[in-house]
Amino acid sequence: MTLTEKQQKLVEENMGLVGKVIKDKVHGTNQIGIYSYDDLFQIGCLGLCKAAATDKGGCFSTYAYRLIWNSICDALIYATRRQDTEILTDDCTLHEASDSDEFFSELKFDLDTALKHAKKNASPSIQKGIAALMLLSQDYSSIEVGEKLHMSPNTVRAMASKARKYLRSCPEISLLKEGYAT
């Protein structure tokens, strides 16, 4: 989008409006999911530029406030849908085998060992994600896991998703997966 000099000046004069929208509308920095404050500020700036490009007169700040908020909402909705889709496609469940008790106890022991080893080599955020995955696998909701780990539910889902991606690349998990493939 190319702005005229007049539109650029309008954007520069109203940059504080983006911070005001974030302050007024986004409650709690831990509730914004995968976006940081800077990400939201950039998204808001795009909304401000769109407002300057499409302004037809009248009270610019009221019009711009609305477009900035709509841009931020669209980005948050898109991110939430993407996260939910990722989580739904990543979930896997074990189905009961006929001689299940011994098989599953052995599998659980091997899986716990592999997860502990993978967790040692991971970054701190991935370690929290693995901890969140372990709690989620024990039928805790993301809200309950968030309370235990002092995070928002959206952060729990994002960290769990990153941990899943990390675990897919771990040789310990790959070997375990190959060993139990039927």
* Per-residue pLDDT in tens (0 to 9) along the chain, 182 residues: 789 999 999 999 999 999 999 888 887 655 556 778 888 899 999 999 999 999 998 899 999 999 999 999 888 888 777 766 655 544 444 444 444 455 444 545 566 677 777 777 788 888 888 888 888 888 888 888 888 888 888 988 888 888 888 887 776 666 655 555 54
For a pLDDT cut of 90, what percent of the chain falls above it? 25
User: In the prediction, which pLDDT does 170 show?
Assistant: 74
Residues 36 and 109 reside in one and the same domain = no
Identify whether the C-beta of residue 45 lies closer than 8 Å to the C-beta of residue 21.
Answer: no
CA dist 53 and 6 (Å) reads: 10
Domain that holds residue 161: 93-180
Q: Angle formed by the axes of helices 100-120 and 171-180, to 10°?
A: 170
Residues 66 and 21 reside in one and the same domain = yes
Identify whether the C-beta of residue 176 lies closer than 8 Å to the C-beta of residue 112.
Answer: no
Identify whether the C-beta of residue 161 lies closer than 8 Å to the C-beta of residue 126.
Answer: no
Q: What share of the chain is helix, strand, coil (3-state, %, to 5)?
A: 75, 0, 25
Q: How many domains does the chain have?
A: 2
User: In the prediction, which pLDDT does 9 show?
Assistant: 94
CA–CA distances in Å: residue 4 to residues 17, 42, 61, 108: 20, 20, 18, 63
The type of residue at 15 is M
Please state the φ and ψ torsions of residue 60, each to the nearest 5 degrees.
-65, -40
Residues 126 and 150 reside in one and the same domain = yes
Which residue among 88, 119, 152 closes a domain? 88
Residues 24 and 46 reside in one and the same domain = yes
